[in-house]
Structures are given as structure tokens and as C-alpha cells.
Amino acid sequence: MKKYFLTVITIIMFFFNNLAKAEYEKIFYDLNIQSITGEVIDFKEYKNKAVLVVNTASYCGFTNQYEELQELWDNYKSKGLVVLGVPSNSFNQEKKNNDEVKEFCEVNFNINFPLTTITEVKGDSAHEIFKWAKKNYGKSAVPKWNFHKILINKEGKIEDTFASFTKPMSGKLIKKIEAIL
């Protein structure tokens, strides 16, 4: 029992020490990505704002979360929150091209928050954002499925991550957002 207890304590200490040691050679605002219409989204434009990065997909069981993401954007953009949708086919559930994704989002969910091009979110071919998130926050920042959420604070560092099952308007996520705004 004592050996088990020491093992658990060691694992917990390792986990918390790794989170605390995030060195952030770069912060979120040092990065950029291409928008769904082809322009570069320079995250310096989001400096001093909180950003919710969500990898999305058109054919996923969680696709209806687009509705709550739009609601979140509508409710909090004036308070300093940016909702950033990152369409991805990393889980083989996205449309074939950016124009189809854009039309799908606008027609079905009236989306007007920023969307990126279709982007890889996991593995060696993941976009720099997701590699940066993993490096600085660990495996919990790596999307395990569509509609994974990464909350960036106003300092450009990861505040928290949320699994696909966490709805955008959930009390847990709203509480975190309001705390950093």
C-alpha cells in the first residue's frame, strides 16, 4: 500500500511539475494561421484577448456545437473573447474544401466568428498551433476528437483545455472564460 501511495504521489508531482515548467519560448500571439478565405490571421491582432481555439468538422456528432460556439462569440466578443474555429479532417469528418466548409457553416449555423483553412490538428503534420499547445501544455492539449477546445488567456498562454463532450455554453467553460476576461 505504501509503495502504491508513493507511486501515485510521484505521478501527481510529475504532472504538476510539467505543467508549471512550460517555458513558452513563443506565446500564442507569436503564431498565425490562414483564414478560410485565404488571408493570414496574425494572432498579434488578438493580443490582450482570450481565445477559444476549437477544431471543428462538418460531419461529426458534435457538429451542432457550432450553434453554441456562435452564441458564445455573440455573448463574449465585446468583452474580449475570440472564438476561432479550425476545421480539420484529422478525424476524416470534414468536407473536401474550404469553400464547402464556409458555406456549410454560414448556411446551417450562421457562423460569423473567424474560421481557418482545413488544418491538421494532430501528429507530425499538425499545424504549429497544435504542436505549440502540446509542447507547452502536454497531451491534454492534443485533440483526441473534433470540437476539442483550447482556451488561451490574455497573456497568450494556455489557460485550460476541454474535451469534445464539453459544450461551448457549459457552466464549466463559461466560468473559465469569465474568470480570464
Given this model, what pLDDT does residue 22 score?
59
More confident residue, 21 or 105: 105
The pLDDT score that the predictor gives to residue 5 is 45
The DSSP secondary-structure symbol of 51 reads E
CATH number for position 61: 3.40.30.10
Identify any residues that bridge with 42 across adjacent strands, giving them in sequence order: 32
Length, in residues, of the chain: 181
118-166, pLDDT tens digit by residue? 999 999 999 999 999 999 999 999 999 999 999 999 999 999 999 999 9
Long-range CB contacts (within 8 A, 24+) of 103-110: 104/58, 105/58, 105/66, 108/66, 109/66, 109/67, 109/70, 110/70
Distance CA 28, CA 38 (A): 20
32-34 and 40-42: which strand pairing?
A: antiparallel
Q: Is 25 exposed, middle or buried (0-12, 13-18, 19+ CB in 10 A)?
A: exposed
pLDDT digits (tens, 9 = 90+) for 163-180: 999 999 999 999 999 999
- Catalytic one among 36, 53, 60, 141? 60
User: Looking at the domain assignment, is residue 171 inside a domain?
Assistant: yes
Global pTM reads 0.88
Other C-beta atoms lying within 10 Å of the C-beta of residue 20 = 7
> 7 lies in a domain?
no
Say if 10 falls within a structural domain. Answer: no
Do the domain assignments include residue 141?
Answer: yes
State the residue range of the domain holding 87: 26-180
Count of structural domains within the chain = 1
What is the share, in percent, of the chain residues with pLDDT greater than 70? Answer: 88
pLDDT at 3: 54
Report which DSSP code applies to 45.
G
Instruction: Determine whether 60 is an active site residue.
Output: yes
Q: Is residue 2 part of a domain?
A: no
Is 18 part of any domain?
no
Instruction: For residue 1, tell me if it sits in a domain.
Output: no
Residue 151 lies in a domain: yes
Spatial contact of 35 and 116, defined as CB atoms under 8 Å apart: yes
CA distance 60 to 87: 11
For 83, phi then psi, to 5°, come to -100, 125
